[in-house]
Amino acid sequence: MRVPFTKMHGAGNDFVVIDARESFAADFWSVDRIRHLASRHLGVGADQVLLVEKPRPLDGVKAQGDEAQFLYRIFNADGHEVEQCGNGARCFARFVLDRGLAQGPGIRVQTRAGLIEPVRLANNNIRVDMGRPRLDAADLPFETQGLASRRVHAITLYELDVSSSGELAWVAPVSMGNPHLVQWLEVAPTDKLIEDQGLWLQSHRRLPQRVNAGFARIENQSAIALRVFERGAGETLSCGTGACAAAVAGIAQGRLNSSVPVSVATRGGVLQIEWSGSLHDSVFLAGPAETVFEGVIEL
């Protein structure tokens, strides 16, 4: 089958985006097909594959009635479907708005993590209401029984072995609809540290659904530097939900200011995160979404 696609990126986090509203049955998207599309040697190459579908019930997750205009599905490069991707949400929105599939500037999109509402800004960036963060370790899930813990303002940190050598670090659990552990570093991390700890945490017995591992460094009260090792994709140039999780963890600990947007510098670009500090309020993510090229691949 010949499949049209669009290659896009959000701050360097790259995607293959496919309009699957009419042409493809849900069971067409096998793990092997997704892996082939995402392969940088044998396919198009991407961190994630994104599907634009019509709203419908999803494996126990109800469609959001008449609210949602689209269903947004996300597959990591390893072929497995995940709940949410912030950079992908911006590219998804840019895709449907640029093609006139919806009248902007805002759209309503169903995901496995709930309804999101991306909006195109005047500068052509996309801003997404990512929903409310959850700071309970059980929401990841993260099994914390027996771990040392300490409460820092609005969040509980846990001391976890983060490498095969038994190195311990304090980590902050944050769910943005998908699981994150945020670790604060005093100096810039090495590539080896990120890969070693990222791979270790992917198979950690206390994280049965794996985790996105964030390595953050405070620049000032409204700016951080961040690198993320994503489950199923490895380290990416940027991670939207990871940027949200790091900003939330910093604000919840009192290390970042909640009254102004937090600039999150990733290797692929800068993202802007806004959160009031209240668990009743949504986190907002803003940043670029760019089309790279279009094509057709034989599957």
Q: What is the set of active-site residues?
A: 85, 239
Whether 197 and 162 have beta carbons less than 8 Å apart is answered as yes
Q: Which residues contact 183 (CB under 8 A, 6 or more apart)?
A: 162, 169, 170, 171, 172, 197, 213, 214, 215, 216
Residue type, position 138, single letter: A
User: Alpha-carbon dihedral of residues 77, 9, 270, 126, nearest 10 degrees?
Assistant: -120
Structure tokens at 63: 């469609």
Of 245, 243, 261, give the one whose Cα is nearest residue 253.
Answer: 245
Q: Which residues contact 48 (CB under 8 A, 6 or more apart)?
A: 13, 15, 16, 38, 74, 75, 76, 77, 82, 85, 88, 233
Structure tokens at 164: 């095969």
List beta partners, residue 234.
230
Which letter does DSSP use for residue 189 in this model? P
- State the number of CA atoms in the 13 A half-sphere of 48 facing the CB: 32
**How far, in Å, are 83, 98, 127, 182, 190 from residue 72 at the CA level?**
9, 16, 16, 26, 34
